[in-house]
């Protein structure tokens, strides 16, 4: 009888030990407020946001229950980011989640105490967002999208579809620190391949039409970095590129889905999903400066066959075979 009771006691103790982490986890998941600072628009970033919110739910953070999200959208206008970041600081949110390069820089300027998690940043060390990837320090951490490092790879892929490529136009906002680094890598790669790279300015949506007028006859292909203004205006950019009969190399899949020719780069939904894990750890007590900046694990090559046919281009079978996704 004594042995039986001892076994019962041990069983109960084991069950309690197994349940203890869950109880602690539930107790720790106190109501929190996230400030989501979007550099684009709600519509343009809907898939990325949905992925982030879904992952937060999986981690036990549910909007309307123990989580509130304050959304602020710059709609591609980087000059608005500073005021929007300050709004979130005044609301005293628990964490600011943002992305791209201008977003984290604006948030970092607005606060040195509220934790900041960036879901994407082209070169967070080179642009001054963090001190280093391994030891970001301060109140900022997140995920590097490593975009400048793949500029040369994008150029090589583009040359497989446009074999005689000699003149490449870049449509971007040169005030963006990430763009400067990206174009620098692109020019280095172009110099070795005999490709001349020319910049065409796009700070606002109103700059897009004049830029296409200016690049007529001066470009055999167009390179568009993943910047806030480009994401918001991706349909307009692709429509004008198709009308001008100019193949496009783009930073992320969403551009190709909107009619661009091809993209090669990190999977943004995956990065936003992983950003939720950073937020979860911070809300449970981890200091952002103690969380090393992580790098992409998924790089996708996406090709739009319909656009290729409209441009009269033949995509080599070897390139199609390497594509992660082919849009028809």
Asked whether residue 15 carries a pLDDT value surpassing 80, the answer given is no
In the predicted model, what is the mean pLDDT of residues 266-285?
Answer: 96
What is the percent of the chain where pLDDT is above 70? 90
DSSP, collapsed to helix, strand or coil, labels residue 138 as: coil
pLDDT bin (cut points 50, 70, 90) of residue 247 is very high
Identify which of 108, 26, 31 has the alpha carbon closest to the alpha carbon of residue 69. Answer: 31
Residue 16 pLDDT more than 80?
Answer: no
For residues 44-71, average pLDDT: 96
What is the pLDDT at residue 22? Answer: 39
- Considering the chain, what percentage of its residues have pLDDT values greater than 90? 77
| Stretch 129-158: mean pLDDT | 90
CATH class of 9-145+267-297: alpha beta
Q: Two tokens at 104? A: 């984290």
Q: In angstroms, how far is CA 62 from the centroid of its own chain?
A: 23
Pick the CATH number of 147-266+300-327 from 3.30.420.130, 3.40.50.2300, 3.40.50.300, 3.20.20.70: 3.40.50.2300
Angle at alpha carbon of residue 104, lines to 98 and 108, rounded to 5°:
125
Contact 141, 289 (CB under 8 A): yes
Tell me, yes or no, if the two domains 9-145+267-297 and 147-266+300-327 fold the same way.
Answer: yes
Mean pLDDT of the chain: 89
pLDDT at 315 over 70: yes
Per-residue pLDDT at 294 exceeds 60:
yes
Identify the weakest region by mean pLDDT among 51-60, 66-75, 121-130. 121-130
Confidence of residue 29 (pLDDT cuts 50, 70, 90): low
pTM (2 decimals)? 0.83
pLDDT at 4: 41
Per-residue confidence (pLDDT) for residue 148, from 0 to 100: 61
Per-residue pLDDT reduced to its tens digit, 153-195: 999 999 999 989 999 999 998 888 888 888 999 999 999 999 9
- Residue 277 backbone phi and psi in degrees, to 5: -65, -40
Taking only the tens place, the pLDDT of each residue in 90-130 is: 999 999 999 999 999 999 999 999 999 999 998 899 889 99
Rounded Cα distance between 100 and 106, Å, is 11
pLDDT at 26 (0 to 100)? 42
In degrees rounded to 5, what are phi and psi of residue 326?
-120, 120
* Alpha carbon distances (Å) from 166 to 156, 218, 266: 12, 10, 26
* Domains of the chain, residue spans: 9-145+267-297, 147-266+300-327
pLDDT at residue 226, rounded to an integer: 86
């Amino acid at each position: 009888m004594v042995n039986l009771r001892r076994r019962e006691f041990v069983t109960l103790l084991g069950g309690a030990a197994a349940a203890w982490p869950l109880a602690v986890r539930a107790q720790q998941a106190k109501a929190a407020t996230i400030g989501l600072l979007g550099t684009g628009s709600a519509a343009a970033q809907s898939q990325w946001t949905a992925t982030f919110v879904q992952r937060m739910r999986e981690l036990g953070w549910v909007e309307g229950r123990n989580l509130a999200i304050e959304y602020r959208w710059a709609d591609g206008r980087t000059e608005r980011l500073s005021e929007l970041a300050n709004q979130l600081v005044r609301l005293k949110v628990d964490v600011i989640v943002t992305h791209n390069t201008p977003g984290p820089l604006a948030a970092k300027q607005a606060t040195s105490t509220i934790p900041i998690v960036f879901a994407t940043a082209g070169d967070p060390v080179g642009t001054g967002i963090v001190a280093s990837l391994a030891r970001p320090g301060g109140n900022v951490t997140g995920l590097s999208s490593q975009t400048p490092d793949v500029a040369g790879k994008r150029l090589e892929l583009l040359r497989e579809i446009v074999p005689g490529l000699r003149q490449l136009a870049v449509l971007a906002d040169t005030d963006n620190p990430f763009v400067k680094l990206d174009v620098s890598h692109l020019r280095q790669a172009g110099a070795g391949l005999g490709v001349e790279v020319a910049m065409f300015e796009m700070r606002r949506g109103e700059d897009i039409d004049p830029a296409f007028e200016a690049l007529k006859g001066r470009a055999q292909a167009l390179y568009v970095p993943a910047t806030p203004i480009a994401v918001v205006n991706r349909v307009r950019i692709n429509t004008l590129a198709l009308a001008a009969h100019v193949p496009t190399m783009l930073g992320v899949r969403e551009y190709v889905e909107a009619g661009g020719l091809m993209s090669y780069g990190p999977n943004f939904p995956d990065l936003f999903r992983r950003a939720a894990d950073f937020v979860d750890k911070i809300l449970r007590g981890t200091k952002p400066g103690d969380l090393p900046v992580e790098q992409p694990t998924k790089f996708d090559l996406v090709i739009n066959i319909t656009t290729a046919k409209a441009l009269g281009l033949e995509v080599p079978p070897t390139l199609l075979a390497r594509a992660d996704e082919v849009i028809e």
